[in-house]
Homo-oligomer: A and B are copies of this chain.
Amino acid sequence: MNLAPAHTCGSSKISIEEPLEIFLRELQTHSPLSSDDRDAILRLPIRLRRLDAHSYLVREGDIPIHCCILVSGYAYRQKVTGDGSRQILAVCIPGDAIDFQNMFLDISDHGVQTLNRTIVADIPREDLQRLVLRRPATGSAIMHMTLIESSIMREWVVNVGRRDARSRIAHILCEFAVRLETRGLADTKSGFELPMTQEQLADATGLTAVHVNRVLKSLQAERLIDRQRRYISFPDWRALQDAGDFSRGYLHISDGDVIPPSRSFRART
């Protein structure tokens, strides 16, 4: 079902180094590493995979055997309730590591699925665990990334628990914009391609697709957002943040973390 065959992604072959450099960059944005640590990371063995949209990266109940880094494309974490409804827990963007959550535990408590066509780099679990034990600084860097993900999840609890539909949607749009921007993948002025359907947006915000549609339309009518198909931009970024009760503190972005758009690696859908 998965293991997508070659798709149009430019002419050049992807070198084996690039994914680890992306990973290293993300690790280092928060905690500096010695050159030995950096080398150790760049020497990690990896395997590249291409995946279609809607492929499973992790299934709930899996025993994780590798940690995968999202090189390009988007994915989301999810859990399903007993009555079959789905909750999206997080959206992963290029540069994110998928399996820190599961890797140090025995069994995956949630699933991860791709949103679109995706390239991932798998790092064997044991190699990563060995790295962490031998090079504590890399462990701290991983801890740091993981804690930021936790912080984002805390904000999601608030979003889903205590905000009305309008704020929830505005908030998630703001979060998405800022996270993409800090990786040089979008810019709040010019907007970006939203990789989610309205139903997925609904599952992320604890609403129904129908209601998401209505809220989006009303945000559009108020000129807080502007949509052309999936492409979305924010004519009044300030007002959108207010509507979403958004402030970026919980993303723990320091100024130096931002990757200028020119330097960015492109998301190949």
Contact = CB atoms under 8 A, between A and B. Distances in A.
In the complex, the count of this chain's copies comes to 2
Interface stretch (A6-14, A98-106, A214-222, A226-234): A98-106
Interface in A93-114: 100-101, 104-107, 109-110
B109 A250 contact: yes
Contacts of A105: 144, 147-148, 151, 252
Q: Which 7 A-B pairs have the closest CB atoms?
A: A161-B206, A82-B245, A160-B161, A87-B158, A136-B136, A87-B162, A109-B250
A47 interface: no
A134 interface: yes
A150 B134 CA distance: 25
Given A77-B154, A162-B87, A245-B81, A140 B140 contact: no
A132 interface: yes
Interface of A: 77, 79, 81-83, 85-87, 89, 100-101, 104-107, 109-110, 129, 132-134, 136-137, 139-140, 142-144, 146-151, 153-158, 160-163, 205-206, 245, 249-250, 252, 254
A148 B156 CA distance: 17
Contacts of A146: 143, 146-147, 150
A83 to B, nearest CB: 7
A129 B139 CA distance: 12
B155 A79 contact: yes
Nearest to A251: B109
A91 to B, nearest CB: 13
Contacts of A106: 252, 254
